[in-house]
């Protein structure tokens, strides 16, 4: 399976996934609040595996940076800006082609980050509701899930595709230079 696609197509894919992830996250949080309106309310979803429980997280992962909403908003905004700059620089470096995997990772990370950023700005906390019953793990939401999946995809991209993209462009440029030299 080829990993490369035209940059415009990759950009469209990334933006579509960003919008889809953001929508899924915000709708899921809305529905949870509609049916479980109070902090601590819970409902069984997959008994013995996962349930819904309403938690307002005013920190980051594992409640780190609790109560530091302004700092978390600034950090999230900076990370999002850096991620967008990285995506743009990959286009500048690779020209018309870019990675499908990078586009999907981008859509997942940016969409999930925007979902939690929206919560921080609108409510002063992140609305979490997914709870593993079979293990001790912090309550989380779909935005967190998409960010984690996106970061895993990004790691895979860096391990398997990042260098190859640069090498293929260098090889192409070297071939063009060699062809020009042969013509002389």
| Annotated catalytic residue 128 | yes
CA gap 113, 126 in Å, rounded:
11
CA gap 128, 182 in Å, rounded:
63
| Annotated catalytic residue 119 | no
- Give me the count of residues in the chain: 184
CA gap 36, 169 in Å, rounded:
53
From the list 94, 93, 87, the residue with the least C-alpha distance to 110 is 87
CA gap 53, 43 in Å, rounded:
7
From the list 71, 69, 66, 33, the residue with the least C-alpha distance to 52 is 33
Catalytic residue, candidates 25, 41, 128, 163 = 128
Cα angle value 72/24/112 (rounded, 5°):
30
Cβ-proximal residues to 141 (8 Å cutoff; 6+ apart), any chain? 25, 28, 29, 115, 116, 126, 127, 128, 129, 130
Catalytic residue, candidates 25, 144, 163, 179 = 144
Active site residues: 128, 144
């Amino acid at each position: 399976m080829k990993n490369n696609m035209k940059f415009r197509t990759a950009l469209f894919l990334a933006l579509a996934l960003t919008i889809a992830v953001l929508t899924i996250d915000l709708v899921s949080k809305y529905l949870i609040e509609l049916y479980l309106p109070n902090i601590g309310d819970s409902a069984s979803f997959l008994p013995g595996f996962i349930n819904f429980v309403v938690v307002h997280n005013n920190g980051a992962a594992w409640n780190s940076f609790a109560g530091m909403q302004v700092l978390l908003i600034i950090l999230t905004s900076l990370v999002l800006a850096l991620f967008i700059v990285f995506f743009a620089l990959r286009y500048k470096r690779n020209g018309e082609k870019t990675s499908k995997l990078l586009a999907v990772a981008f859509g997942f990370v940016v969409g999930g980050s925007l979902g939690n950023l929206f919560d921080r700005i609108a409510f002063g906390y992140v609305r979490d509701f997914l709870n593993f019953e079979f293990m001790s793990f912090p309550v989380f939401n779909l935005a967190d899930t998409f960010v984690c999946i996106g970061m895993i995809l990004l790691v895979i991209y860096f391990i398997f595709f990042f260098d190859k993209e640069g090498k293929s462009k260098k090889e192409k440029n070297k071939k063009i230079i060699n062809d020009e030299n042969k013509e002389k």
